[in-house]
Amino acid sequence: MRSLQRDEAVARFELITLTSYDVSLDLRGEDTFSSRTVIELTSRGGDTFLDLKAKSLESITLDGVPLPAALWSEGRFPLSLPAGEHRLEVAATMAFRNDGEGLHRAVDPSDGRAYVYQMSFMSAAPSVFACFDQPDLKAPYTLHVLAPQDWVVVANARGEQVEPGRWEFGQSQPLSTYFVTLVGGPYHRVTGQHDGIDLGFLCRSSMAAALDVDAEELFTITRQCFDEFHRVFGIRYAFDKYDQAFVPDFNAGAMENPGCVTFREGLLFTTKAPRSVRVQRATTVAHEMAHQWFGNLVTPRWWDDLWLNEAFAEYMGNRVTAEVTEFTDALVWASLVRKNWGLTADSRPSTHPVAGTGAVDADAALQDFDGISYSKGQAVLTQLARRVGDEVFFGGVRDHFEKHAFGNATMKDLFTSWERAGAGDLTPWTDAWLRTAGLDRIELDRSAGALVRTAQAADPADRGHDLGLAVWDGSAWLRSSVLVESPRTPVEIPQDAPVVLDPADEAWADLTFDDVTAAALPTLLPGVGEQLRATLWITARNAVYQGTLDPAVAVELLVAGIPGEEQDTALNTLAIWAADDGYGARGVVHEKLLPVVRDAGAARERIHRAFRERADSAPAGSEIQFAAADGAIGTGEDVDWLRGLLEGGLWPGMELDAGVRWKVLQRLTSLGGTDLDELDRALALANDAKSQVAHAWCHARIPDPEAKAWAWQRFTGEVAASNYEVEAIGTGFWQAGHEALVGPYVDRYFAELPGTTAVRAGWGLADGARFFYPITELDQDVVDRTDALIADQQLNASIRRVLVDAGDELRSRLRAVERYHR
């Protein structure tokens, strides 16, 4: 299917104005569903096209006159529209999808019941209904749905079941196509109300108990956030109700569909979850609520301004969560969990400006939907809010909402509103931080008494950094700041005093520790406060990735810091960094510490002991204990010790639920300490969706040819697998130390990857490429093979972007090995 070009979108916007959509769907089938769309529009006279990604086109009429169905090709139907009002009617048969896009259908393995949800983002809407699929052609929608009689169906607007299996929905506010959604199935739904807004939460029936346990927490967060957004924006929520649905196989964290937000199902906890994950859920709820104003009420005109949606929602979601909910540590969580995602993305060859990416089509825009759009975008908006103050910041935002309500706007429109509110001329700041790509490296040159700023980008910006300093005077950390505006900025630092740059985590730069500081920090770390500790962990992770810190120093920091760590979020982050096992690392391709440590076995054992020490010292049943135990399991080398955990040898206060059991089984699989029979028995204990994914990871990890062949069939698409299974199987497949077993698959990956476009698309296509990349093969030949495939001009753009980033990750590992394994 051809991706919509920007010039095509501009021409279509200038030609037509949409009045309304009326969509009827019959969802009672298993493989396909019928879709009938009626579009009322006004044309200024000319030729254009309709978007339709159907299994078959039954009929299309314009003003009652049938048009030749044979004209439909490559997802488009050409139209010649005389000036005036017109009525288009399209009847088509659509395919249910299983890749988390379009109208996704999933069967719950627990009870065999089917669930659907609609994900219309970017270019998936035409696989559900005929439409003019671009963000600036908004229109109100009326939806009619036929469904199995035991289903609950919700959508953007209020609806009701008027007779068994038939649902009618009121007309929505004007929406972009990518916001249109419905959620249908035997969902469990809990309802409430706040400030005149009807609220609801949904999940599949087999997870009802988990939703019932967490419903009060979720409702409380929602109510608190609504109150705060109403206060700071001065504009009420514009849609008529607010449902939030946890849905299966969802690709993103969540999607902000007006009135019917969809969430990744993993954010509903069927087993014990650490506080850090609960913070993540709270900030995600707040993030999607912020979108109801920034994105839904006012929508970007074209995809290259999508960063405005995400950066604004990231900033407001984290800020509001910290200020008005019980999760007051949300900003620390954001620093520890999100910042390195953006720093890494901004240092890669694929870096791009936050704004004005020049996306020529929708597919190109999707490639830039990354840590720069979210994490760096939040960082620069944080800078702006501090610079102009809340009165001006929110004054400009309110002006923007009022002028463009239910319409579309650009970055220029928003910044004009801020300048009108009193921000002054923002052009120099915008040029430096938003329109120029890349990351500045700032290092302490102790011998010269200077901070050295080096731009990593080919076209560097002349950025100023208001950089904090923390200097250890032998008894305390003394804080100060310096304005870094030139390549060398003089600073007075005692020659033997450890120095931490950006101790409050307010800068956006590539930072590291100089040799004096790196040597001193393991001794000082146990006494460091919460915020400074977070900064140290962020800096250590970034510096190891960039090759400016010896990984052995990072190990010393972990061993020194973990036993006294008081932040469960930090422990969770460090556990992921230090462990070989796990899946779901979407933010960074496969960022890990141990592959670049000289004696990984000895380092792993020391880190394992540090995690066990922290778990032993933590209060029974506490979040700290749970997070430390997770780290200990992920770094364990003793099969007998791990088996003891399965036999009841857990820490006091810990329960061997399905989540803990599968973590132990993952580690045992990596160590060759279990087999498929035991894994099958564990799955039989709780054959739910989450357990199936964990089982798939373990199956792919088993070190035998049959398991690897089984996994590879899911990569090529010879055997179908859900998007979550592809992610798990790919990350489970590769393992250092098993080169003889998996080595032949390196050739197969590069030979067969381009052909996966025949079996996957969109998110799923990129995920298959990303998670099956041979990241554990520390060999220059793999880098060379990566570069050769990138150079193929016929290669799919999504795959190319994945290879650029994955190749950069592998290069970083090879650089560290070459530099520090002397």
Task: Give the tokens for residue 57.
Answer: 């086109």
Cα torsion at 91, 97, 99, 102 (round to 10°)?
30
Contact 370, 346 (CB under 8 A): no
Residues in contact with 725: Cβ distance below 8 Å, sequence separation at least 6, in sequence order: 692, 693, 696, 714
What pLDDT is recorded for position 459? 63
Q: What is the pLDDT of residues 496-533, one digit of tens each?
A: 999 999 999 999 999 999 999 999 999 999 889 888 99
pLDDT at residue 350 tops 60: yes
Query: Where residue 586 falls among pLDDT bands split at 50, 70, 90?
Result: very low
Q: What is the pLDDT of residues 65-120, one digit of tens each?
A: 999 999 999 999 999 999 999 999 999 999 999 999 999 999 999 999 999 999 99
**Token match 């209060």: residue?**
619
What pLDDT is recorded for position 303? 87
Query: Where residue 2 falls among pLDDT bands split at 50, 70, 90?
Result: confident
Give the Cβ contact number of residue 259 at 10 Å. 26
Choice among 180-194, 342-356, 800-814 with the minimum mean pLDDT: 342-356
Which residues, listed in sequence order, are joined to residue 25 by a DSSP beta bridge? 35, 145
3-state secondary structure of 656: coil
pLDDT at residue 588 tops 90: no
DSSP 457: S
Q: What is the pLDDT of residues 283-303, one digit of tens each?
A: 999 999 999 999 999 999 998
What pLDDT is recorded for position 293? 97
What span, in angstroms and rounded, lies between the C-alpha atoms of 211 and 138? Answer: 34
pLDDT at residue 585 tops 50: no
What span, in angstroms and rounded, lies between the C-alpha atoms of 453 and 440? Answer: 6
Task: Give the tokens for residue 757.
Answer: 């476009």
3-state secondary structure of 459: coil
What pLDDT is recorded for position 799? 95
Amino acid, res. 500: V
Q: Give the helix, strand, coil percentages of the chain, each rounded to 5.
A: 45, 20, 30
Query: Where residue 584 falls among pLDDT bands split at 50, 70, 90?
Result: very low
Q: What is the pLDDT of residues 795-812, one digit of tens each?
A: 998 899 999 999 999 999
What pLDDT is recorded for position 589? 41
pLDDT at residue 157 tops 90: yes
What pLDDT is recorded for position 359? 66
What's the rounded mean pLDDT across residues 551-562?
96
What pLDDT is recorded for position 356? 67
Residue 281, phi then psi, degrees to nearest 5: -65, -45
Contact 814, 775 (CB under 8 A): no
What pLDDT is recorded for position 741? 95
Strand positions, DSSP E, 535-681 = none
Give 3 or 785, the one with higher predicted confidence.
785
Choice among 358-362, 609-613, 647-651 with the minimum mean pLDDT: 358-362
Contact 760, 768 (CB under 8 A): yes
What's the rounded mean pLDDT across residues 165-176?
98
Contact 141, 133 (CB under 8 A): no
pLDDT at residue 368 tops 90: no
Give percent of the chain above pLDDT 90: 86
What pLDDT is recorded for position 749? 98
Residues in contact with 780: Cβ distance below 8 Å, sequence separation at least 6, in sequence order: 814
Residues in contact with 59: Cβ distance below 8 Å, sequence separation at least 6, in sequence order: 66, 69, 89, 90, 91
What pLDDT is recorded for position 511? 96
Contact 178, 258 (CB under 8 A): no
What span, in angstroms and rounded, lies between the C-alpha atoms of 783 and 556? Answer: 30
CA distances from 731 to 271, 505, 585 (A): 22, 31, 9
pLDDT at residue 822 tops 90: no
Per the prediction, the chain carries an average pLDDT of 94
Whole-prediction pTM: 0.95
Q: How far is CA 476 from the centre of its chain?
A: 38
DSSP 241: E
Give percent of the chain above pLDDT 70: 97
Query: Where residue 360 falls among pLDDT bands split at 50, 70, 90?
Result: confident
Task: Give the tokens for residue 410.
Answer: 């650009």
Domain coordinates in residue numbering, the chain:
6-266, 675-822
3-state secondary structure of 295: coil
Contact 788, 751 (CB under 8 A): no
pLDDT at residue 754 tops 80: yes
What pLDDT is recorded for position 782? 97
Angle, helices 762-771/797-820, rounded to nearest 10 degrees: 20
Amino acid, res. 588: V
What span, in angstroms and rounded, lies between the C-alpha atoms of 86 and 88? Answer: 7
Task: Give the tokens for residue 115.
Answer: 């669930």
What pLDDT is recorded for position 592? 86
Contact 331, 322 (CB under 8 A): yes
Q: What is the pLDDT of residues 686-729, one digit of tens each?
A: 888 899 999 999 999 999 999 999 999 999 999 999 989 999 99
Domain 6-266 = CATH 2.60.40.1730: yes
pLDDT at residue 575 tops 70: yes
**DSSP secondary structure, 508-542, as one string:** -SEE---HHHHHHHHHHGGG--HHHHHHHHHHHHH
Contact 171, 233 (CB under 8 A): no
Give 521 or 352, the one with higher predicted confidence.
521
Across 654-671, b (16+ Cβ under 10 Å) vs e yields beeebbbbbbbbbbbbbb
Query: Where residue 362 falls among pLDDT bands split at 50, 70, 90?
Result: confident
What pLDDT is recorded for position 79? 98
CA distances from 247 to 187, 261, 499 (A): 9, 10, 47
Residues in contact with 633: Cβ distance below 8 Å, sequence separation at least 6, in sequence order: 642, 645, 660, 663, 664, 667
What span, in angstroms and rounded, lies between the C-alpha atoms of 611 and 129? Answer: 52
DSSP 311: H
